[in-house]
Structure 1
Amino acid sequence: MPADHDPISRRCFLEGSAQIGAASLLAATPAVAAAAADQKLGFFVIGDWGRHGAHHQIAVGRAMAAAAAESDPRFIVSAGDNFYESGVTSIHDPQWRSSFEDVYSEAALQRPWHVILGNHDYRGDVEAQIDYSKLSHRWHLPARYYTRTKTLPDRSDAEIFYLDTSPFIRKYLGTSTRIEGQNPHAQREWLDTALGRSTARWKIVIGHHPIYTTLGGAGHDQPDLIAAIEPLLRRHRVKLYINGHDHTMQYVEMGGIAYVTTGAGSETYTPGPASRTGFVSGAHGFLACAATKDAIGLDFIDSTGRSLFRNTITAA
């Protein structure tokens, strides 16, 4: 899984790689790219971002807007920790403007944002983040966990399962991350049932916390989710799990599942050496995805608009 730093256009990658494979991407003709554009479901994922524009948040937002103007993703996903350090206090909290509306203000970002909650959001008013969905034309957080099905142009489906992972993390009990009153067992049963009845070509699960990471070990892998969620991913043949929380960009494959971390929307850190084969970077950025019937192309893009790593997941 080599990193690819070639400065090819975002449209070429998103419209071509999932259809023809990253290896042959550079040889794609305009006709091939145009044909691929008719077959893809594009979306972006950004995690761990809400810092009033600081810590490169504005730069990442601009890079995301430029990429969106070029490739026209159908929606954007927020992988949680939407507002630092302690969520929002109400639907009128000034952070709605300083960390969201005024940062992601470009026309290309005025499209649906499908949102999940992170542990920092649980330090504030979670219901306010749900209620903001009624005020915003793009902020979509209908419940603490939910699912959405997107139809690809070839009429196959991608179903995305949006989780609320903080209640699974036992170390938060009794802390300022107020998960008391939530029922992770009920959520796990919901996910098991929903994955089992899904007939979608692609089942994509998105949660705030990682399950496995390239870095591995304590503080990176999440044993509570390894116990609760990983068996469901295996049982229902999920090929892709995406998360934030770790303030890096990472890709690793474990047991036939791609685990992708995109927690670099603002503050990041310089990661240590990887303990598993894959990709890891402390750069600021986001993840671009392009799904077709047969493959999902993944592209980590940094705050300058440069592609840091690309890979393709196949359905077979």
Structure 2
Amino acid sequence: MKLSRRQFVSTTAVTGAALAADMPAVHAADPALPFIVVGDWGRRGHYDQRRVAVQMGKSAAAMDSRFTVSIGDNFYENGVESVDDPQWQSSFEEVYTAPSLFTPWKVILGNHDYRGNVQAQLDYSHKSPRWNLPARYYTDKQTLPDGATAEFFYVDTSPFIKTYLGSRVNISGQDTDAQLAWLDQALSGSTAQWKIVIGHHPIYTALSDDDGYVHDQPDLIARLNPLLLKHNIRIYICGHDHCLQSVKMDGVTYVVSGAGSETYRPNPPIRGGFASGSHGFMAVRLSATRLDYGLVDMYGNTLFAETITNA
């Protein structure tokens, strides 16, 4: 279901078929947690990164976004060299300048970040009050305005991709077995009403290329996805594909928000999914019983919206 920019800004509910035109505007007492998700963005303001940032600021203000999730490939092409790398200013601080984006940024790493100094991105958490990357993978628990809890599991997917071994994507020394054991234990021990897993790479996608090659990640299907199914995870959010997309497989909704700067025009979606090459981001409102999200372009149009209920 497509929503106009006016509908999105006035309701910010970002719902699917259940959207009501007279829904109240979001405010501090609204019983939902609003936040923004963006990926694949760090290009010194180029490739429409700055235009996406402007609309992110407008939407974040309208929905009273509490934080921004950055799903990796934070700096192109080769990450950063240090905490004083000029890209911190040219690709981040001087681009995301709206007051509504000076909330915490919950950050993970992408494959391009692994081409640079990963430790510098971790260390920047001590330099910037809004950059939050405490470890390569970690959890974050949020209390929703209605009293429910949501736990976010931020995973580090690059070390799982076998084709990166021996490449410029320096994943050497990363123990994927240990990460999976940590995730399994963390999911098992969580008492949150919502468990949301966030990584950089897609697992299942809605895309195939001209030769019929599907953009799925077999390494993650084999190793990460079984944990999503085991723990009844409702949604997995990622980037890497430079587009906006959504697809359902085995009861899990897989959403890609990798359109923060350079994008491409995808082929028509497969598996009954949605895909768009528009520049943009994901907007989310989360309550105890439902997760409402929309994929929003840099003009403020909600291209796709859906509600996921918490079984």
- Could you tell me the TM-score, scaled by structure 2's length? 0.95
Matched, 1:212 2:204: yes
Matched, 1:136 2:131: no
CA distance in 1, matches of 2:22, 2:193: 25
Tell whether the 8 Å contact from 1:81 to 1:121 is kept in structure 2 after alignment: yes
RMSD between aligned residues: 1.6
Counting matched residue pairs gives 308
Letter in 2 for 1:22: G
Q: Secondary structure at the match of 1:129?
A: helix
CA distance in 2, matches of 1:116, 1:277: 29
Tell whether the 8 Å contact from 1:149 to 1:158 is kept in structure 2 after alignment: yes
Q: Residue 263 of structure 1 corresponds to which residue in structure 2?
A: 258
Matched, 1:201 2:201: no
Q: Residue 41 of structure 1 corresponds to which residue in structure 2?
A: 33
CA distance in 1, matches of 2:128, 2:181: 31
Matched, 1:10 2:8: yes
- Distance change in 2, residues 1:292/1:98 (3 Å): same
Matched, 1:67 2:62: no
Q: Could you list the runs of 5+ residues in structure 2 that have no partner in the other structure?
A: none
CA distance in 1, matches of 2:26, 2:114: 43
How far did 1:8 drift?
A: 3.1
CA distance in 2, matches of 1:186, 1:273: 38
Q: Residue 231 of structure 2 corresponds to which residue in structure 1?
A: 236
CA distance in 1, matches of 2:139, 2:22: 34
CA distance in 2, matches of 1:51, 1:269: 15
Q: Secondary structure at the match of 1:290?
A: strand
Q: Secondary structure at the match of 1:55?
A: coil
Q: Residue 17 of structure 2 corresponds to which residue in structure 1?
A: 23
How far did 1:68 drift?
A: 1.0
Q: Secondary structure at the match of 1:252?
A: strand
CA distance in 2, matches of 1:37, 1:305: 24
CA distance in 2, matches of 1:89, 1:35: 40
How far did 1:184 drift?
A: 0.7
Q: Residue 159 of structure 2 corresponds to which residue in structure 1?
A: 167
How far did 1:7 drift?
A: 3.1
Identity, % of aligned positions: 55
Aligned counterpart in structure 1 of residue 248 of structure 2, from 247, 253, 263: 253
Tell whether the 8 Å contact from 1:13 to 1:25 is kept in structure 2 after alignment: no
Give per-residue Cα distances to partners, 1:210-239, cap 9 Å, x unaligned: 000111574610000001111100110110
Q: Residue 289 of structure 2 corresponds to which residue in structure 1?
A: 294
Matches of residues 176-187 of structure 1 in structure 2 within 5 Å? 176-187=168-179
- Distance change in 2, residues 1:35/1:94 (3 Å): closer
CA distance in 2, matches of 1:242, 1:35: 25
CA distance in 2, matches of 1:312, 1:281: 19
How far did 1:154 drift?
A: 1.8
Letter in 2 for 1:273: P
CA distance in 2, matches of 1:11, 1:156: 25
Tell whether the 8 Å contact from 2:246 to 2:255 is kept in structure 1 after alignment: yes
CA distance in 2, matches of 1:292, 1:36: 14
How far did 1:59 drift?
A: 0.2
Tell whether the 8 Å contact from 2:27 to 2:64 is kept in structure 1 after alignment: no
Structure (1 or 2) with the greater helix fraction: 1
- Distance change in 2, residues 1:168/1:55 (3 Å): same
Letter in 2 for 1:69: A
Matched, 1:309 2:304: yes
Q: Secondary structure at the match of 1:232?
A: helix
Q: Could you list the runs of 5+ residues in structure 1 that have no partner in the other structure?
A: none
Tell whether the 8 Å contact from 2:27 to 2:63 is kept in structure 1 after alignment: no
CA distance in 2, matches of 1:34, 1:309: 20
Q: Residue 123 of structure 1 corresponds to which residue in structure 2?
A: 115
Tell whether the 8 Å contact from 1:195 to 1:203 is kept in structure 2 after alignment: yes
CA distance in 1, matches of 2:101, 2:263: 22
- Distance change in 2, residues 1:29/1:308 (3 Å): closer
